[in-house]
Amino acid sequence: MYDFTPTENQELIVSTARQFAARTLAPRAAELDVAGGFPRESLAEAAELGLLGINVPERLGGVEAGAVAYALAVIELAKACAGTTVAMTVSNMVAEVVTKFGTPEQQQEHVPRLCSGEYVVGGFALSEAGAGSDPAGMRTRATPNGRGGWVLSGQKLWITSGTDAGLFVVWARTSDAPGSQGISAFLVRGDAPGLVRGKPEHKTGQHASTTTPLEFNDIELGPEALLGEEGKGFRVAMMALDGGRIGIAGLALGCGLAATEFARGYALERQQFGHAIADYQAIQWMLADSATELEAARLLTLRAAWLKEQGKPFTQEASMAKLAASERGWAACDRAVQVLGGFGYTREFPVERYLRDVRVTRIFEGTSEIQRIVISREIARRFARATG
């Protein structure tokens, strides 16, 4: 049923991503990990190469290569620098969201600017202090201004690329309907009066990616800012996160694969008791477990991407891919540190960075616990349909 043999177009995208990663991302990764900051130059080059609109139609400035090509490209990019890659995955997600739910006018105004890098990158502003895994706790509000538009007020937390993004998709309550009802999505320019970007968080990893709070101080929005239907924003967010989870799965896989490849090379060279440590079964089994688990997660990720590309339901598969890739990516990085021993715990080698960078993949775009909830619900729904 599934054929993951790369097409010519997919191979072109992967080759482009791999060369860009080796030429631009890898040489700066260690420096950005120490100094932090936002990799504007790297992202501008990514935009020139079409890597900010991989699954976006050509008519809107994308390369229209499909979800499978996107997943494969993210894996290659994350091997070099997970922090820069996460900014790219979020921006790709924002471009896809506007493409899917935007009016023709919104698409033409915003998507080409996202793909070209004119907006630098896009931002996804959903989470709040009391509304992380539970969007029903959202307090940010958009109140009608009497002129067909809205006044946006509230705060968001943990916004990737919050320092530099030129366009945000922002979710806010537009009514007091219970639960996730009454939530709407809006397009907010990065230069909107009343938008305040907070200081970047001091994080464990992914230091090449800035993560900030945002404040919306009575921002005036016209009617054209509403994305999708009023009160239907929760559906927009959930569909966006389904696709976003494929990107995070690729991100986790890239970290795990990079760590495993480095550990393998180290094990072949490192001598103990007169032998390369790769000769010892303890090391062999760690590398074997990582290779097997990562390959299984890769296939889950490609299956989810293929289903998305075919226009088939993929919610369960995306959650499975994200769960498996993030959990097994962490395990692979942890084993890599163990293979290197004391060296693995120092910044002399990159495996400790891979470990820190991969850890957050079990949290953002839905925690591992949320993925299990999504998977179990989808299993129950499919069983009910099959027996109904």
The per-residue pLDDT string of the chain (388 residues; one tens digit each, 9 = 90 and over) reads 677 888 999 999 999 999 999 999 999 999 999 999 999 999 999 999 999 999 999 999 999 999 999 999 999 999 999 999 999 999 999 999 999 999 999 999 999 999 999 999 999 999 999 887 787 789 999 999 999 999 999 999 999 999 999 999 999 999 988 878 899 999 999 999 999 999 999 999 999 999 999 999 999 999 999 999 999 999 999 999 999 999 999 999 999 999 999 999 999 999 999 999 999 999 999 999 999 999 999 999 999 999 999 999 999 999 999 999 999 999 999 999 999 999 999 999 999 999 999 999 999 999 999 999 999 999 999 888 888 6
Q: Which two tokens stand for residue 367?
A: 């925690």
Beta strands 150-160 and 195-197, pairing class: unpaired
CA dist 235 and 138 (Å) reads 15
Domain boundaries for CATH 2.40.110.10 within the chain: 123-231
Domain boundaries for CATH 1.20.140.10 within the chain: 235-387
Position 131 scores a pLDDT of 82
CATH homologous superfamily of 235-387 equals Butyryl-CoA Dehydrogenase, subunit A, domain 3 (1.20.140.10)
CA dist 264 and 142 (Å) reads 53
Burial string for 42-72 (b: 16+ CB within 10 Å, else e) reads bbebbbebbbbbbbbbeebbbbbbbbbbbbb
Position 334 scores a pLDDT of 98
CA dist 243 and 321 (Å) reads 11
Domain boundaries for CATH 1.10.540.10 within the chain: 8-121
Position 5 scores a pLDDT of 87
Position 178 scores a pLDDT of 83
Position 364 scores a pLDDT of 92
Q: Is the whole model's pTM more than 0.85, yes or no?
A: yes
Position 282 scores a pLDDT of 97
CA dist 315 and 386 (Å) reads 17
Contact between 255 and 329 under an 8 Å Cβ cutoff? The reply is yes
CATH of domain 123-231: 2.40.110.10
DSSP 51: T
CA dist 166 and 232 (Å) reads 24
Position 132 scores a pLDDT of 78
**What top-level class would CATH report for the domain 8-121?**
mainly alpha
What residues are annotated to the active site?
A: 365
- Cα–Cα–Cα angle for 244, 227, 361, rounded to 5 degrees: 15
Position 302 scores a pLDDT of 97
Residue 169: strand pairing partners = 124, 187
Q: Which residues contact 64 (CB under 8 A, 6 or more apart)?
A: 55, 56, 57, 58
Looking up tokens 């996202």, which residue turns up? 114
